[in-house]
Amino acid sequence: MTEATCRRELELEVAAEEVQKASERIAKEFARVARVPGFRPGKAPVTLIRRRFADDIKSELLQAVVPDCLEHALTEKKMVPITQPQVDQVSFVENGPLKFRAVFEVLPQFELQNYKGLEVEVPEFQITGKEVDETLEQMRERAATFVPVEGRAIQDGDFAQVNLTGMPRTPGVDPIKAEGVLCHIGGEETLDAFNEHLRGAQTGDRKAFEVTYPADYPDAKLANQTFDYAVEVTAVKEKRKPELNDEFAKDLEAATLAELREKIKNDLEAVRDRRQREIGRANLLEKLVAPYDFPAPEALVEHQMDVRVERNVRALAAQGVDPRAVNVDWAALRQRHRDHALKDVRAELLLDRIATAENMEVTEAEIDQEVRRLAGHSGEAPEALLARLTKQGSLDRMKSKLRSDKTLDWLYQHSRIQPTAPTGS
């Protein structure tokens, strides 16, 4: 019969005789070193020592006999805790047995179902000339220059180079001051007020107008704020993209435009292959976990919920947003991650069992390669990073993840890929 949870309780008892022997030994040790007024060191009667240091002796007694009793019981019952056993409900009277309860979690027991040759749907993304053309156009955009325009007013498509000062209507909001800003007139990214007041202007013109930023403006500090702007047009410029020819290709380390197109196609195909593999692995993991409903250790689920919330925090920080400044109920967000966290834990437990069944291990070379990869991202020396991971106890977690990833790769190689049309196609 499958246990409903991974929580286990053991009601244990240490025999009175064993407790008494341990108590006497500890009391004698206290008597040997304790300082009691009126007695030379080591000469105070044990009965006095027992009364004077009763609480300390009891504490030492628990530390002496409880771990041994618990270890013996776990070995006898073939239980392996994955959390530190919590001891409570301690019952102890002099000359009697010691009773206590130990509460802990264990790994769930389950039978592995078929995991080889699973059918996995993977969207089939085709790289066509259209994708290559779009990438080339993006390259031209990045290589574009801004050329001054003389003798005419600003029109849609132009870039107005301006110096501007914006004074907020709301007290406490910082003013805005910038020089040499390029404002794309008529561009989707440009606020209507700038388009309206700068269209038709010429170099040297000065404009004053009001701007109210929308509630969904990307910069939260400006959202819903109204500013009075003073703007000076210092230049009118056109954006000019390089011609699409062999000279352009040479600037991008290709001998000809044809070679550049082939290089772009190869790069896009490599990105597509990585994307398909990521989607395929995710779909495989979903299919692998689906038939199982075994319980997961609560401690592991809680940890995985924390991991998911930390990802949200890092994502905000990467966008330059202070997570403490956003209006997010982090506790509620954490709870919303629970179902996904449960699946994550089940997936890890399944991969671990499959790795064991298939004798899957991580080699020293693979560990060294991962350490060097991580060191490259962090800027640390590989040796320093390895020492830090070892000191923090993170090296075993890294090895475990490598083992899981290696197992998932093996399962993917032994699955039956079913190409499908991309969603939305």
User: Is residue 298 within 8 Å of residue 7, measured between CB atoms?
Assistant: yes
Do 332 and 405 reside in the same domain of the chain? yes
Q: CB–CB of 354/116 below 8 Å?
A: no
Q: Is 382 inside a domain boundary?
A: yes
CATH number at residue 78: 3.30.70.1050
Residues forming a β-bridge with 235? 161
Q: How many angstroms separate the CA atoms of 113 and 40, rounded?
A: 71
Q: Which domain holds residue 31?
A: 7-105
- If asked whether residues 363 and 394 sit together in one domain, one would say yes
Residue 342 in contact with residue 5, Cβ under 8 Å?
Answer: no
Residue 115 lies in a domain: no
The pLDDT assigned to 53 comes to 64
Residues of the chain with confidence (pLDDT) below 50: 1, 425
265 and 393 co-located in one domain: yes
Do 208 and 338 lie in one domain? The reply is no
* Burial of residue 41, with CB atoms counted within 10 A of its CB: 0-12 exposed, 13-18 middle, 19 or more buried: exposed
Q: Are residues 182 and 42 part of one domain?
A: no
Question: Does the residue 189 lie in any domain?
Answer: yes
Does any domain span residue 138? no
- For the four alpha carbons of 47, 49, 51 and 54, in that order, the dihedral sign comes to negative
276 lies in the same domain as 368? yes
pLDDT at 1: 35
Residue after which a domain boundary falls, among 212, 240, 268: 240
Does 391 lie in the same domain as 262?
Answer: yes
Tokens of 242: 């390089």
The pLDDT assigned to 397 comes to: 87
Domains contained in the chain, number: 3
User: Which phi and psi angles does 89 have, rounded to 5°?
Assistant: 50, 45
Question: Residue 76: which residues within 8 A CB-CB, separation 6 or more?
Answer: none
Which pairing describes strands 206-212 and 226-240: parallel, antiparallel, or unpaired?
A: antiparallel
CA distances (Å), 247 to each of 136, 243, 259, 263, 267, in order? 14, 8, 12, 16, 21
Element (H, E) at 28: helix 16-33
Say if residues 68 and 7 touch (Cβ distance below 8 Å): no
CATH of residue 281's domain is 1.10.3120.10
Same domain, 329 and 416: yes
Helix (H, G, I), strand (E, B) or coil at 121: strand
- For residue 412, tell me if it sits in a domain: yes
Q: What is the pLDDT of residue 132?
A: 95
The per-residue pLDDT for 314 is 87
Query: Are 230 and 272 members of one domain?
Result: no
Is residue 131, in this structure, part of any structural domain at all? no
CA distances from 406 to 306, 312, 358, 402, 410 (A): 24, 26, 11, 6, 6
One domain for residues 313 and 262: yes
Q: In whole angstroms, what is the distance from residue 115 CA to residue 113 CA?
A: 6
Domain of 210: which CATH number?
3.10.50.40
Domain assignment of residue 389, yes or no? yes
